[in-house]
Structure 1
């Protein structure tokens, strides 16, 4: 028996139009009017938008970090994702020191398999580079469906790699058909600034942003693009935070380089003033790169409007305030870095982007779904409402009003960085490969139905 969504407005990255959607055997099989057949189940979605399921290309579930583990695993994190309208996540599997890439990938498969309520793929974060690892990259692309790799230019002494490694990796990524994703902060500068803060007894949370200045992001972004240009390879800059770093990206794009940029809701809506909150409350917002001065928000919104920024992801990396963030009460550098966001991404971007006219509905879909599918080897299976695509559909009711609160969220964390924010619109129904997983804003799926996604090699 097929399902027909009747009366809604379909929104793609290119257009908005009225049409019904017929779903059968996990796929979209027809679009238009008068497509209902005998025995079909009809769901009236009059007055709602139909978005392709959201794709969040930057999450960290069940990640060991700073002596603890993120509060959200693949079960709680992907439930929250579905409730917020995200049907696919791409998490960062991580190769730790001494591991092969295949070992690191196997560890993350074990974390996710049978637990994920959303469909999922993996980037592979590489922290221990050698010739054997270089040879593994092509195998992961061809055999495991992992077509993107992450390197950190920060976190000296643990995750950070040097420029020689990055150049080799860019060259290998080009040979392998992969896209490199880079965390762009100068880790050497940051390590020195943290040391200076310690020497001067400046250990309060308010000093966190001062040890990770915009200059460190701007310089690393410029250096990353230079290395990519030298290797004639594409590069994806994760969690861009500042107008200065965006200017570096813009200049490279104008020169015709294959540079892609991602930002996050926190950098569009929050600013560094929160680090001065009393009673250690600022620790909730300790992330890297940190929140910036408010004027950077306007630059990022303009970058989105001008299509210099391709995706809005979350960098969802949740730690509880009590018992986890508190590990750094006496020293800001020991606060686990990260915040939750996978549940609120679409709502925030719709409320503060679409409603005030900063972005169109089509741009909203491109930022939250389509472009991520195209960059990360999932299009047109994901990221579009079209015949033959997976039936990942969000029925978005623009008439619903709510207030974001930790008390009502599904994310398994004891605070929300957007506490008290008004929300306009909500994912009323969500379909994952035709399965009605969210109904009237509530989970409708009793067990995990997410599948691992083998992604295609990168192509421009």
Structure 2
């Protein structure tokens, strides 16, 4: 007898849709039977009744219990991983970012591994390098041995997390040697610093002027510069939270030239424009890059629907309104980042389907953005596909179901959401993570600290189907 059967499912993978019964045993998909076959006996049978079933979400960009300068997010792994499951995400990827000059990249990653022991869902990690010294290559070797084969660097945030161009170039060379992935926060620091100083001198430095301190040009110039370095070295590069169609186009053009380059965006850049900085609660939207004008948002959404964007991530950062408002009169001092791991699924699905019919092709595109592409790009074994041998990470949902967001009723450990009051469609109804039903019509079923740390292989090698058994998070 199997552990679980999801019967009569509309099974949506990135490369096709079919109807069938999904049979689950020991945390993995045992087999998929044609929908015309009898429903097999199992400990539990969930009748999907023709609803869509997609692979469990992979959020490739989360910040959990993150310390940056004087700011610390309010969450921990227990909270954020549970919120991820509430939102249909069954694997989160966090960053080991050194909290200050005294913490090395290796120490930062080891710290996150310890914190991740409390995770309710599976976890994978990215490393981070801020400054170069002679110990960095050996640290990157150790990170790769731990299954951490990607390194993030910031092109801005002078004095805290920013890496200079020499560091970026040297780390890129090391990541090529290690067959890994370079991840970039692309904003041109000199332009941002100068623009911010001009706004400050004009007395326009509060949160209502955030979008004026970080122009689109700063993002696109930084993307252009980093692409040139990656092309010079011949190494893959992945750009987080792209907020402009111009930035996405630059990456697409580089791919056309043969460079392995990827674009990630976030739901808030697809649904929210910079008019919110004149709203009653502008602090809800303090993030970097900032929201863009309505025309830019519409053009980015076109790229998103059209296939130019590779992945959609939350860039989850759990601050509350008290933290946001302490320095809302000076964007240079306030913490930037938005909670979003729980709302990534419906907000991204809403952005993808706005004004469009929900066809099989649209559902397949969503499965790719939400799960398959981030699993593939990050070489996560066992993730991103509904197929025998893959992890039983599954989400049942009705693409037509709509709910209005209540920021206070979410589960992310904060008191607001940038989508508060908005009606979003495509919420998860049943979530299965590692074969365990964690969300159904009876609510949330906390599985406890069962999340595993997923170790990744070389960037150029296909990820193994089976996940790494026995690897506790």
Which TM-score applies when normalising by structure 1?
Answer: 0.95
Structure 1 residue 295 displacement after superposition: 1.2
SS in 1 for 2:430: strand
Structure 1 residue 347 displacement after superposition: 0.8
Structure 1 residue 65 displacement after superposition: 2.9
> Which residue in the other structure is 1:337 paired with?
336
Say if 1:28 and 1:385, in contact at 8 Å, map to a contact too. Answer: yes
Say if 1:66 and 1:334, in contact at 8 Å, map to a contact too. Answer: no
Alignment of 1:388-403 (within 5 A): 388-403=389-404
Match of 1:371 among 350, 362, 373: 373
> Which residue in the other structure is 2:224 paired with?
222
C-alpha separation in 2, matches of 1:249 and 1:49: 32
Match of 2:208 among 180, 183, 206: 206
C-alpha separation in 2, matches of 1:269 and 1:171: 37
Question: Given the superposition, is the C-alpha separation of residues 251 and 37 from structure 1 closer, same or farther in structure 2, using an over 3 Å criterion?
Answer: closer
C-alpha separation in 1, matches of 2:405 and 2:323: 22
Structure 1 residue 353 displacement after superposition: 1.5
C-alpha separation in 1, matches of 2:133 and 2:297: 39
Are 2:286 and 1:286 aligned? yes
For these two proteins, the number of residue pairs brought into alignment is: 454
Match of 1:176 among 175, 178, 193: 178
Say if 1:55 and 1:89, in contact at 8 Å, map to a contact too. Answer: yes
Q: Which runs of 5+ in 2 are unaligned?
A: 462-473
Deviations 1:115-145 (A, max 9, x none): 111111110121132121122213311x201
C-alpha separation in 2, matches of 1:405 and 1:67: 29
Alignment of 1:179-328 (within 5 A): 179-278=181-280, 281-321=281-321, 323-328=322-327
C-alpha separation in 1, matches of 2:400 and 2:270: 24
Structure 1 residue 32 displacement after superposition: 1.4
SS in 1 for 2:205: coil
C-alpha separation in 2, matches of 1:218 and 1:289: 11
> Which residue in the other structure is 2:107 paired with?
103
C-alpha separation in 1, matches of 2:351 and 2:192: 32
Say if 1:124 and 1:149, in contact at 8 Å, map to a contact too. Answer: yes
Structure 1 residue 93 displacement after superposition: 1.3
SS in 1 for 2:61: strand
Say if 2:303 and 2:309, in contact at 8 Å, map to a contact too. Answer: yes
C-alpha separation in 1, matches of 2:307 and 2:11: 22
C-alpha separation in 1, matches of 2:196 and 2:13: 45
Structure 1 residue 446 displacement after superposition: 4.7
Q: Which runs of 5+ in 1 are unaligned?
A: none
Say if 1:101 and 1:126, in contact at 8 Å, map to a contact too. Answer: yes
> Which residue in the other structure is 2:6 paired with?
5
C-alpha separation in 2, matches of 1:108 and 1:154: 23
Q: Which aligned runs of 4 or more in structure 1 are off by greater than 6 angstroms?
A: none
